[in-house]
Every structure is written in structure tokens, then in C-alpha cells.
Chains A and B, each alone.
Chain A
Amino acid sequence: DAGVIQSPRHEVTEMGQEVTLRCKPISGHDYLFWYRQTMMRGLELLIYFNNNVPIDDSGMPEDRFSAKMPNASFSTLKIQPSEPRDSAVYFCASSFRGHHEQYFGPGTRLTVT
């Protein structure tokens, strides 16, 4: 079975540009999570969805960040406008209720110059 798929794997953009990160969870999983990893702050949960509905977005840094899950097999994380401090690796993960372990995608390394 395919794991969690993320695209792009690498993104380099200029400050002020819009960035869209994409995720396809494992088929059948009903939870989807977005994390950010930086050296300073480690792994931070940004937002998570259950059955396509956002449940907790308290980790989203500010209004420049938004996430959607239009269907069970696709989610996006958008940053508009991007800033250099948004440079990080962004991970998407999915899980199946009752199992709790989350399976992570390969991550998107974002660099904002």
C-alpha cells in the first residue's frame, strides 16, 4: 500500500509569494495532521482533521497559514504571504482512529528567501 504522499518535496520561493503544500493520506485513514519541524522548535503540530473536518488549528502560527481538506484523499497547507521564518520541513501524517500511531509523509522542505 502507498504511504502518505506529499508534494512538492522541495520548494524554494521568495518572500511574499504564496506557497501551497499538498498531502494525500493513506487510504482509509480518517485523521490527517500537519506538522512543522525546525531546529529551534522541533516538531510542532499545526492543525489536524478528522473525517475532513478541522478539529484543532491552535498550532497554526498566524493568519498567513490556512489548511483545507476538501475530501478524504487530499489536503493542502497554504502560506500567503510567505516569510523567511516560515522556512522549515512540513510533514503531513495520517492515522486511523483506534490505532493512534501516525504515519508520516516524506516532508516538504520549504525555503523562503
Chain B
Amino acid sequence: AQKVTQAQTEISVVEKEDVTLDCVYETRDTTYYLFWYKQPPSGELVFLIRRNSFDEQNEISGRYSWNFQKSTSSFNFTITASQVVDSAVYFCALSEAQGAQKLVFGQGTRLTINP
């Protein structure tokens, strides 16, 4: 069975600090996809990134970066120079590459950026 674990329930940092959100996953599939979603206080779920299991290159998008390590089954998310607008709940998710496109979500990490 697939499982996603986000061990950090809540993180609180001061603005401009860097912060890393951890995500560890379990799957027996050899090919799969990993995702990060953001849920701001307004409540909607916003897609941030998708990563294929066969592509372990790190990705950077502005202040956001993602580190995928297959050897440790981790897909961590770093925000550099955090801002108050980054305050949200962040979810890591996993899906099979073949067949069903069901997403299995972690429990989420609530990130609070204090001014």
C-alpha cells in the first residue's frame, strides 16, 4: 500500500528564514509521481509541483526548491527567504504512474511565517 508521512505537524519561523518541509513516502511501485500542494488560509488546494520517480533532478522555482532522493524515499520542499504569504498548510502526495490516478496525501504541515 502507498503511504505518505509528513512528520512535521507545525512549523513556525520568522520571515526571511529558510524552511524545509519533510516528506517520506512508501510504495511498491517502480514508477510513480510525487506532488506538493499548498492550502492557504482561504482553503483552496493549489498544485505546486509534480515529480516523476525516474527523474531525481532537484527543481527550483523562484524561492521554492524540491529535493527528491529515491534512496531515502524522500521528497523535501524548501522555501528560501520565507515570506508571510507563504503561511499555509502544505501537503505532499503520491500516485501510481500506471493505472489509477488516485492521490495519497500526507497529513500536511502547517507553516506559519511570523513578521
* Given contacts A43-B91, A45-B103, A100-B33, A107 and B44 within 8 Å (CB-CB): yes
Q: A100 to B45, Cβ gap below 8 A? A: no
Chain A binding site: helix, strand, loop or mixed by DSSP?
strand
Our count of residue pairs bridging A and B at CB distance below 8 angstroms stands at 50
Contact of B105 among A42, A89, A100, A105 (CB under 8 A): A42
Those of B32-80 within 8 Å (CB) of chain A: 33, 35, 37, 43-47, 50
* Given contacts A89-B43, A106-B44, A107-B44, A42 and B101 within 8 Å (CB-CB): no
Report the bound CA distance from A43 to B101 in whole Å.
15
CB distance from A113 to the nearest CB of B (A): 21
Q: How many residues of B contact A (CB 8 A)?
A: 20
Those of A65-112 within 8 Å (CB) of chain B: 89, 91, 93, 95, 97, 99-107, 109
Q: How many residues of A contact B (CB 8 A)?
A: 23
14 contacts between A and B (CB under 8 A): A31-B101, A42-B108, A43-B91, A45-B103, A48-B102, A56-B102, A89-B43, A93-B45, A100-B101, A101-B33, A101-B35, A103-B47, A105-B44, A106-B43
* A interface residues, Cβ below 8 angstroms from B: 31, 33, 42-43, 45, 48, 55-56, 89, 91, 93, 95, 97, 99-107, 109
